[in-house]
Structure 1
Amino acid sequence: MPPRSLSNVPLPDQSAIEAVRISCSELPAGSTLLAERFYQNLFKMAPDLRSMFAENLHPQHKRMADALLQVVHYLDAPDDLAHQLRVLGAQHRREYGVEPRHYPYVGRALIRAVSEISPTWSSSMSSSWVLVYEWITANMLAGAEEPDQRVSGAGRGRARPARSYR
């Protein structure tokens, strides 16, 4: 199923945000386990995406883990976070060739990775992750579709997700 547009994806409610946070709460600071599992799952689902990444994924694991945890942390500042996600979406399109067809694979790989590492995983937690991921994706795709000058440059607020998921 293709990603939905931003106009069709509301910010998840507080209970979904809390469920997503709980699923990440057991990760030790600096852990890359979630990112490692994510990339394992992604490349099993879509092996052709492997060529978009460097041979050595260790630095990428750290960037992805940091970025994801920052996004989860800043879901309470949705306007600032949405701007940062749009910048990220534009960057991914421009610098890495990320296309809308890649996002469903990323979402499935991410949700599977969280389910593999979270001791509190449940079907309601899965639903919460789907809602959060759809909102993240919608914002990133909106940024990828905007003219570069509208999304380039520094963010406006306090939310500062890491440079890139990629």
Structure 2
Amino acid sequence: MLSQQTIDIIKSTVPVLEVHGTEITSRFYHLLFTNHPELKNVFNQTNQRKGRQPEALANAVYAAAVNIEKLESIIPVVIQIGHKHRSLGVKPEHYPIVGQFLLQAIKDVVNPPEEVIAAWAEAYGVIADAFISVEADMYNKAEEQEGGWKDTRKFKVIKKEKESSVITSFYLQPVDGGKIASYKAGQYISITASIPGEQYTHMRQYSLSDAPGNDYYRISVKKESGTDTTPGGMVSNYLHEQVSVGSELTISAPAGDFTLDESSTKPLVLLSGGVGITPLLSMLNTVINKGIKREVYFFHGALNSETHAFNGYIQDVVKEHSNVKSFIAYSNPTSSDLQSKNYDKEGFITLEDLQNVLSSNVADFYFCGPTPFMKSMYKALGEWKVDPSSIHYEIFGPAESLAE
């Protein structure tokens, strides 16, 4: 329990964090990797270069400071981050290291009085204990469930299937021949990639793109080719170009809190952009496989039919199940698309589209995709006055605000 003096001091630092938060966390990561380069095996270095990870950590530290009197209010965030930490293999021994360099970064950037550093040291200890406790429970549950395991396990690729011009699916089974852990629709696994020529391993999280209940895991990965100014995705390119049937991959047990509420009877609205279709496809298949009686509306935005993965499959589902409907928007349709009119709209999915297809805003909304798509959907649902408890989304990568 924090003392009132500590709480008062932490609250007084909120304006400083608002101004210098990202500078502090950028300095923190520099110190961390300089002194512990082995942790580059855990942290996504692409997100470091893009500044996404420092910004996400700054937001988390700011949220902790703002809610220091009622830390229980950030438990949902602790759980969400805890899932990612467990899938990445973050352990209790990492927290003192993080604390040491976070405090040093605060000193280096704003040089506060010693009592401020002491207060943050005390607060960090309490917050770290919360993470450690939550993650210990997650590790135990991951290991104790049937077919489960605690850290990582070797899987082999039994099938590799091209789903579009940019997305390929990988079907994975354990090398040891044992059972696999079940999961909830919407969850992900982490892959630890040892890429030839790279000094450190690279860990990436990929949504499971099929319903649970099979003897395999399926991930569907977009190849991030990059541009003249931005590098391509190191792991996605490795998977597409160097991993084939028979290759072995090291993965974590399924994790994540972006999961389908199977008990709800409200209409289910799935909104996806690009490769964001993957966790939502798992949700769709779960509803179909379990015979859950509810209306399902699957909205998807893509460049065109060439990049649109799983379209044929979803259209077959729509034909076979009267409770499932789809809406497709292509922002850059091909000449063939323009001739065949195999989509519902040219452009992007908007609030008007949702209102034209759905009878009301009383539904469960799940959405995932590129950040601009996510922000657009979040804004549209807000404008439509959708109940916030009915809005669920997954951001690929470090957490960021969708509010504009």
From 24, 37, 45, the equivalent of 1:34 is 24
Alignment partner of 1:98 is 2:90: yes
Q: How has the CA–CA distance of structure 1 residues 14 and 114 changed in structure 2, closer, same or farther, with 3 Å as cutoff?
A: same
Letter of the aligned partner of 2:103 in structure 1?
I
Q: TM-score normalized by structure 2?
A: 0.33
Determine if the alignment matches structure 1 residue 63 to structure 2 residue 53: no
Residue of structure 2 in register with 1:7 after alignment: none
Partner of 2:374: none
Query: Does 2:52 match 1:72?
Result: no
The C-alpha deviation readout for 1:87-109, integer Å capped at 9, x for no partner, is 43343122x11111111110001
AA of the residue aligned to 1:32: T
Q: Which residue of 2 aligns with 1:143?
A: 134
How many Å separate the matches in 1 of 2:9 and 2:56?
A: 23
The 2-side partners of 1:84 and 1:66 are apart by 11
User: Which deviates further from its counterpart, 79-88 or 50-59?
Assistant: 79-88
Work out whether residues 86 and 141 of structure 1, in 8 Å CA contact, stay in contact via their aligned partners in 2.
no
Equivalent pairs counted in the alignment come to 145
1:122 equivalent in alignment to 2:116: no
Which position in structure 1 is the counterpart of 2:6?
16
1:113, 1:24 → 2: CA distance?
16
Deviation string, structure 1 residues 80-137 (Cα, Å, up to 9, x no partner):
234542443343122x111111111100011001111224x12222211111011011
Choose between structure 1 and 2: higher helix proportion. Answer: 1
User: Structure 1's 46 and 137: CA in aligned 2 closer, same or farther, altered over 3 A?
Assistant: same
Q: Distance in 1 between matches of 2:57 and 2:131?
A: 15
More strand by share: 2
Cα gap change, 1:12 to 1:163, in 2 (>3 Å): farther
Residue of structure 1 equivalent to 2:295: none
Instruction: Tell me the TM-score normalized by structure 1.
Output: 0.73
Greater relative contact order (Cα 8 A, min sep 6): structure 1 or 2? Answer: 1
In structure 2, how many angstroms separate the alpha carbons of the residues matched to 1:33 and 1:63?
12
Change (3 A) 1:117 1:17: farther
Counterpart-to-counterpart distance in 2, 1:78 and 1:110: 19
Residue 25 of structure 1: aligned partner: 15
Contact 2:10 2:120 (C-alpha < 8 Å) held by counterparts: yes
Q: CA–CA distance in 2 between the matches of 1:79 and 1:122?
A: 28
Change (3 A) 1:40 1:28: same
Q: Name whichever of 14-23 and 128-137 sits farther off.
A: 14-23
1:17 and 1:75 in contact (8 A); partners too: yes
Which 4+ runs in 1 deviate beyond 6 A?
none
Give the match for residue 125 of structure 2: 134
Q: Give unmatched runs, 5+ long, in structure 1.
A: 1-10, 157-161
Larger radius of gyration: 2
The amino acid across from 1:115 in the alignment is K
User: 2:178 is matched with which residue?
Assistant: none
| Structure 2 portions without partners, runs of 5+ | 143-255, 259-388, 390-397
Q: Does 1:112 align with 2:75?
A: no
* Residue pair 2:10, 2:119 contacting (<8 A) in 1 also: yes
Further displaced range: 124-133 or 29-38: 29-38
Q: Using a 3 Å threshold, how does the CA distance of structure 1 residues 51 and 153 change in structure 2: closer, same or farther?
A: closer
